[in-house]
């Protein structure tokens, strides 16, 4: 039976690189895959999953209104989809995560979702919360804090590198806006 997997980590842990490698493994064996990425993430190119080490692949952009299950089943009708990959899964809605679960449970299509667990305030994203509740397997991808401990938090910083504790949950950015830290250093950075 197919499963729903949630691979989660802090920023800059290699989630997109892992996704692209797994997708390559399927395609190298002649299997069809389908990739999704958040439409709001346009750091590199719209509709493209790009890793920091330079790997990239075209993907279907999803919005909050996208019926991912319907997209996959329409493509599946044209030729079997062996696996579905979702990058930036934290931006999924709860309904979309339910759709991913149905793809695995009802249609026997494995789904591998990759994303952040929490935002810069240490609060769960809607998609991540639902994935944590529904996924058959939860896999943490490790990243390292400046002190050498495991980085689990995402600190948002301003142009001068100062910690930001307020603002919209979603602000797209990379190393210039976010720093992956262990909980201790995250809390220290936000302390008054």
- Residues contributing to the annotated binding site for substrate: 178
Q: Where are the beta strands (DSSP E) in the chain?
A: 4-9, 32-38, 48-50, 56-58, 60-62, 81-86, 111-116, 137-140, 153-157, 163-164, 178-181
Binding-site residue set for Zn(2+):
145, 147, 182, 185
Binding-site residue set for ATP:
9-16, 87-90
Does an H or E element contain 188, and which?
A: helix 183-190
Please state the length of the chain: 192
Per the DSSP assignment, residues forming a β-bridge with 150 are 144
Distance CA 17, CA 162 (A): 28
Catalytically annotated residue among 28, 88, 171, 188: 88
Residues near 114 by beta carbon (within 8 Å), at least 6 away in sequence: 6, 7, 8, 15, 16, 18, 19, 85, 86, 87, 88, 89, 141
| Sequence-ordered alpha helix ranges (H) in 9-155 | 15-28, 68-78, 94-105, 126-134
Binding-site residue set:
9-16, 87-90, 145, 147, 178, 182, 185
User: For this structure, is 171 an active site residue?
Assistant: no
Question: What tokens does 65 get?
Answer: 């209104």
What residues act catalytically? 88
């Amino acid at each position: 039976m197919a499963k729903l997997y949630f691979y989660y980590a802090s920023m800059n842990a290699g989630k997109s690189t892992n996704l692209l490698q797994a997708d390559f493994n399927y395609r190298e064996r002649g299997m069809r895959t389908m990739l999704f990425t958040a439409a709001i993430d346009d750091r590199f190119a719209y509709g493209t999953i790009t890793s920091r080490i330079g790997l990239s692949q075209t993907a279907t952009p999803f919005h909050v209104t996208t019926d991912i299950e319907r997209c996959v089943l329409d493509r599946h009708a044209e030729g079997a989809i062996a696996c579905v990959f979702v990058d930036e899964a934290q931006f999924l809605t709860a309904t979309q995560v339910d759709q991913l679960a149905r793809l695995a449970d009802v249609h026997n299509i494995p789904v591998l979702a990759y994303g952040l667990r929490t935002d810069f305030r240490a609060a769960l994203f809607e998609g991540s919360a639902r994935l944590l509740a529904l996924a058959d397997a939860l896999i943490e991808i490790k990243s390292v804090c400046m002190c050498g401990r495991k980085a689990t938090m995402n600190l948002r910083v301003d142009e001068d590198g100062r910690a930001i504790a307020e603002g919209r949950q979603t602000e797209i950015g990379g190393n210039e806006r976010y720093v992956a830290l262990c909980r201790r250093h995250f809390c220290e950075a936000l302390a008054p």
